[in-house]
């Protein structure tokens, strides 16, 4: 059993912790929080040992009636692998803590790529992370694009990817995010950071990305154009994508016209928190004109990186190869809609 600790028990951290608990070959040795709140209370109620991430704030947990198992240093010492799910920039500050205990660590996409040995996507470059000490699980949007690029590159070859990302203003719980009533080019320069980030997984890929931010909280939506090197039909591409792990090609008969219905589907299917771990690709959007493939996909920013974190744990521990890990993770989570 791999002993896993999670530093940062928020939007991503709590989902990763639950996913770790579901795995047959992993145990969660604890989670760390900076302050007592409803998530800290739920962690204890779930039976997850809770550690204080900042020693000076430890007394606040006792004042709130929340029991601590210790300080974060003790969690790092107990873990075989640490998952750092702290806010952007904090992971870089925590790196020395993990190094001082000789504990391999995973970081999230908000950290710089030069912080780590490799950026990670399970479908695209699992082997690069095997035995690494510091691995960055790329962001939700980069994860979604990398999952799409990998089979297309293998099957047809890619001349260029062009993607416009229509991004939610904030997660449902991020009351301070925006815009409230606007549509913002974000950034106003080209490319957005997503293209260069995909290139940390596919160094030789030609890709341009543009970003927009809109007043929504549900999911990101990508408008994707891929110029293929090989001949393909829309039917062939659709079949290829339907056969990929962690891709949900939405059938027309489901009558799902947007992210709202996708979330409703996930809730009706009993998914925890209404999570969608897969790329959600509208089947009728898959079109080929000459060498150009076009499609729309929706990416659930709160959850699509969760199975990637689980696979990255096995990679750094050398506990499985890509196919074995992906299948184990998918089976344990109940992947499939």
Read off the pLDDT of residues 257-313 as tens digits, 9 standing for 90 and up. Answer: 999 999 999 999 999 999 999 999 999 999 999 999 999 999 999 999 999 999 999
Which pLDDT band holds residue 175 (cuts at 50, 70, 90)? confident
The average confidence (pLDDT) of the chain is 97
Residue 198 has pLDDT above 90, yes or no: yes
What is the average per-residue pLDDT within 129-135? Answer: 98
Which pLDDT band holds residue 121 (cuts at 50, 70, 90)? very high
User: How many alpha carbons lie under 13 Å from residue 301 in its C-beta half-sphere?
Assistant: 21
Catalytic residue among 68, 75, 140, 322: 140
Q: Per residue in 76-102, pLDDT tens?
A: 999 999 999 999 999 999 999 999 999
Residue 148 has pLDDT above 90, yes or no: yes
Residue 280 among the catalytic residues: no
Residue 173 has pLDDT above 90, yes or no: no
Hey, what's the torsion of the CAs at 258, 264, 269, 271, to 10 degrees? 100
């Amino acid at each position: 059993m791999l002993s896993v600790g999670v530093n940062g028990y928020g939007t991503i951290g709590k989902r990763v912790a639950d996913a770790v608990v579901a795995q047959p070959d992993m145990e969660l040795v604890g989670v760390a929080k900076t302050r007592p709140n409803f998530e800290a209370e739920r962690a204890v109620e779930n039976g997850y040992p809770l550690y204080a991430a900042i020693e000076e704030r430890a007394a606040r947990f006792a004042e709130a009636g929340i029991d601590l198992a210790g300080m974060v240093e003790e969690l790092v010492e107990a873990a075989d692998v640490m998952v750092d799910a702290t806010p952007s920039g904090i992971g870089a500050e925590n790196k020395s803590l993990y190094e001082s205990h000789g504990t391999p660590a995973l970081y999230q996409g908000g950290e710089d790529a030069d912080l780590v040995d490799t950026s990670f996507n399970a479908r695209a470059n699992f082997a690069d992370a095997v035995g690494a000490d510091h691995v960055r699980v790329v962001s939700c949007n980069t994860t979604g694009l990398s999952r799409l690029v990998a089979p297309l590159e293998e099957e047809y070859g890619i001349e260029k990817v062009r993607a416009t990302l229509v991004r939610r203003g904030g997660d449902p719980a991020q009351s301070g995010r925006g815009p409230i009533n606007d549509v913002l080019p974000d950034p106003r320069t080209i490319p957005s950071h997503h293209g260069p980030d995909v290139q940390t997984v596919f160094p030789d890929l030609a890709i341009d990305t543009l970003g927009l931010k809109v007043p929504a909280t549900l999911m990101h939506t990508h408008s994707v154009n891929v110029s293929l090197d090989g001949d393909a039909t829309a039917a062939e591409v659709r079949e290829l994508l339907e056969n990929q792990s962690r891709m949900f090609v939405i059938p027309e008969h489901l009558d799902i016209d947007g992210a709202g219905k996708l979330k409703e589907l996930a809730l009706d299917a009993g998914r925890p928190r209404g999570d969608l771990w897969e790329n959600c690709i509208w089947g009728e959007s898959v079109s080929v004109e000459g060498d150009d493939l076009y499609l729309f996909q929706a990416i659930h920013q709160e959850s699509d990186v969760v199975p990637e974190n689980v696979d990255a744990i096995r990679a750094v521990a050398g506990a499985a190869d890509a196919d074995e890990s992906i299948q184990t993770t998918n089976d344990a989570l109940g992947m499939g809609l």
